[in-house]
A and B are shown apart, each in its own frame.
Chain A
Amino acid sequence: MTAVSDVSSHAIARARWRPAEIAFWILALSCAFLFPSRYLIMTDILRLALFTLSLDLILGYAGIVSLGHAAFFGVGAYSAGLLALHGIINEPVIALVVAGLIAMALGFLTSFLVIRGVDLTRLMVTLGIALLLEALAERFSNITGGTDGLQGIEMQPILGVFAFDMFGKTGFFYSLIVLFLLFLLARRIVNSPFGLSLRAIKNNPLRASAIGVPVNRRLIAIYTVAAFYAGIAGALFTQTTALASLDVFAFERSADLMLVLVIGGTGYLYGGLIGAVVFKMLQELFQTITPQYWLFWIGLVLVVMVLVGRERIHRWVLWGPNLVIRQIFGRKAGVAVPESDAP
C-alpha cells in the first residue's frame, strides 16, 4: 500500500506546475510583443516545436526511434492543403483537426507495423513508410501537384473572424494557441498512469509486461497520438504558409527533427520547444556564414553532441538557470531536468 501511495505522490509531485514552466510560457507569449517584426520565423519555431513534441512523445516516453516521422507531418500538410484548396472545409480550425485526425488514422494503421521487431526494424519501417508516401505523392501529382506542390491555397479567416495577414501576426497567435493547448494535453498524458506505464515500457518492455502493462496496446496508443500531433504540425505548416510540397516527406525533415529533439533533450516535453528555438537560431547562424553548406555544420553539431554526451551537455546548459531558480524559489524548485537526471 505504501508503495502505491509513494508512486502516486511522486507522480502528483511531478505533475505540479513549476514556476519555471509558467515563466517559460509567459516568455513565449511576450516574444509576440518583444519582436513584432519576426512573426514569420517565430511561427516557424512554433510549428517545429509542435512537431518535435510529437516525436518526444514516442521517442522520449516510449523509446520508439523513428526515422520517418515526416510521414505524418506530410499527410497533415497535404490534408490541410487539399481541404482548403477544394473548399471542402473552409474553416481553418476544423480543417486543422480533420487533418490531424487523418494523420492519426494513418498513425494507427502503421503502428501495427512499428511495434513489431527491434529498433532496427522500426527504423527501417518508419523510414520506409515516409519514403513510400513521398513516392505516392510524386506518383499522384495530379492531386498533390507533384514537385511544384499545391498551388493557390487561400486560407479563410480563423473562426470566421481573424484573417491571416501578410506579417504573420494571426498565424503566430494561432500557432501559439494550438501549441499551448496540445502541450497541455501532452502534459496531462505523460503525467497520467498511462504515461507512467509508457516510461516503464521504455525502461524494460519485458518487465513492464510482467507487471501487467499491455505493452503493444500502449505503444499503439502513443504512436497514434504522436501521429495526430505531427499531423497538426503539418497542417499548421500548410495553413500558415499556404504551401505544401513534396519536401514535407523528405528524410532531411525527419533527421532534422531528431536533431531538434536531442538538442532540447528527450523525455520532459520542453525539450522539443527549447530545441526548436536553438535549432532555428543555429540554422540562421549557419546560413549566414555559409549559405550553401550549412548541412555540414548541422552534421558537426550532431556528431559533437553524441561524442560529448547528450546528458552532459544538458547538465552544463541547465546549471545556470537551475542556480538562479534555486536562489529565487528555494531549494526544492528545480527547473526542468533532462530525463537521465530525473529522479
Chain B
Amino acid sequence: MTTLFTILFDGVAYGMLLFVLACGLAVTLGLMNFVNLAHGAFAMAGGYICAVLVNNQGWPFFSALPLAFVVSALIGVALERTLYRHLYTRSHLDQVLFTIGLTFMSVAAVDYIMGSSRIFIKLPAALEGQFDLFGVGIGRYRLMIIVICGLLTVALQLILSKTRFGSRLRAAVDDPRAAGGLGINVPKVFAFTFAFGCGLAGLGGALSAEILGLDPYFPLKFMIYFLIVVTVGGSSSITGPFLASLLLGIGDVAGKYYVPKMGPFVIYTIMIVILIWRPNGLFGRAAAR
C-alpha cells in the first residue's frame, strides 16, 4: 500500500514537472496551431543555464531558477521575433522541418559547448533525502517540485481566466482577425505568450535536471512526452494538458515500477489508443483549425 502511495507521489511530481515543461507548447501548438518540435530545446537551455550558474558560478539554486526562466524567455522572444513568426502561416510540414532543424542544431551546439555527458545540478542540502509521512517516503526535492508547479498552475489558470491579458490571449486564439479588429495587438500577444511558455520550459528544464536527467539529447528524448501532453490533453484550456501530464506522469512511473521492461511501451500504447478514441485529445474541442 505504501509503495502505491510512493508511486502516486512520484508520479504526481513527475506529471507536474511535465506540465510546466509542456504548457508553453500547449499554447503554441494547441492554441496557435504551430507545430513546435523544438520546445524541448528551450527546456534544455534553462537546465544548462541553471547548471552553469549553480555549479560554476556558485549561485544558490533558488536564485538560479528565476534566471533560468528569464534567459529562456529572452531566447524564446528573440527567436520568435526573428524566425518563428515567419512560419505561423506556413504548412505544418514546413513547421515540422524548421523546428526539427532547430532541435538538431541545439543538440549539436550544446554537445559542442558543454560535452555530451549527463550533468547534475548541485542541490542545497535542504532538498536532499526524504522524510516519512505516515510510512510513505516523501522525497524533499519532489515535494518542492509539486509545490512550485502547483502554485504555477494555479497562477496560470488565474492569469488566463481573470486578467485582461488572459482574455486578450483567449480572444486572439479564438479568432485572430476579430481580435485584431477590436484593437488587440495579436502578434504582440502571441510573442509574449511564446516567450512566457519558453520561460516556463526553461524553469521546468532546470527543475528536471535531477529527475529526468539533462544531456544534449534532452530535446529529442522528451519531445514525444511534451507532444503527448498536448495532444492527449487537448487545447481548450490548460486543465486538459494538466490532467494529461498527471496521467502521463503516474502512468510512466507506475509502468516503470510494475513492468520495468515494458516501460515506454505502456505509455505509447495508451497514447495511441486515446488518440484513436478521441483524435482531438481527451478534453479537446471538436474543431481543430
Residue B117 at the chain A interface, CB threshold 8 Å:
no
Q: Determine whether the beta carbon of A135 is less than 8 Å from that of B265.
A: yes
Q: Determine whether the beta carbon of A307 is less than 8 Å from that of B224.
A: no
In-complex Cβ contact of A116 among B105, B271, B279 (8 A) = B279
Using A116-B276, A131-B224 as known contacts, say yes or no to A303 and B105 having CB atoms under 8 A apart.
yes
The residues of B that contact A292 with a CB separation of less than 8 Å are 111-112
Query: Beyond A65-B93, A301-B101: 19 further Cβ-contacts under 8 Å?
Result: A59-B93, A116-B275, A117-B280, A120-B231, A121-B275, A121-B279, A123-B92, A124-B271, A139-B265, A292-B111, A293-B108, A295-B104, A295-B111, A296-B112, A297-B108, A299-B100, A302-B100, A303-B105, A307-B86
Residue A300 at the chain B interface, CB threshold 8 Å:
yes
Cα A173 to Cα B273 in complex, Å, equals 43
Q: Which of A178-186, A191-199, A234-242, A251-259 contacts B (4 or more CB under 8 A)?
A: A251-259
Q: Determine whether the beta carbon of A132 is less than 8 Å from that of B265.
A: yes
A interface vs B, CB < 8 Å? 59, 65, 67, 113, 116-121, 123-125, 127-129, 131-132, 135-136, 139, 251-252, 255, 258-259, 262, 292-303, 305-307, 310
With an 8 Å Cβ cutoff, the count of chain B residues facing the other chain is 44
Across the interface, name the chain B residue whose C-beta is closest to A305. B97
Give the number of A-B contacts (CB < 8 Å).
Answer: 132
Cα A307 to Cα B90 in complex, Å, equals 10
The main secondary structure of chain A at its interface with chain B is helix
Using A116-B276, A135-B265 as known contacts, say yes or no to A128 and B100 having CB atoms under 8 A apart.
no
Q: Determine whether the beta carbon of B92 is less than 8 Å from that of A65.
A: yes
Residue B272 at the chain A interface, CB threshold 8 Å:
yes
Q: Determine whether the beta carbon of A299 is less than 8 Å from that of B105.
A: yes
Nearest CB on A from B67, distance (A) = 26
Q: Determine whether the beta carbon of A124 is less than 8 Å from that of B108.
A: no
Q: Determine whether the beta carbon of B265 is less than 8 Å from that of A307.
A: no
Nearest CB on A from B30, distance (A) = 9
25 A-B residue pairs with Cβ-Cβ distance under 8 Å, sorted by A, are: A113-B272, A116-B275, A116-B279, A119-B92, A120-B92, A120-B231, A132-B264, A132-B268, A135-B262, A135-B264, A139-B265, A258-B93, A258-B97, A292-B111, A293-B108, A295-B104, A295-B105, A295-B111, A296-B104, A298-B101, A298-B104, A299-B100, A299-B105, A305-B101, A306-B101
The residues of B that contact A251 with a CB separation of less than 8 Å are 220, 223
Best-surrounded residue of B86, B101, B224 (most CB of chain A within 10 A): B101
Q: Determine whether the beta carbon of A303 is less than 8 Å from that of B272.
A: no
In-complex Cβ contact of A131 among B98, B107, B264 (8 A) = B264
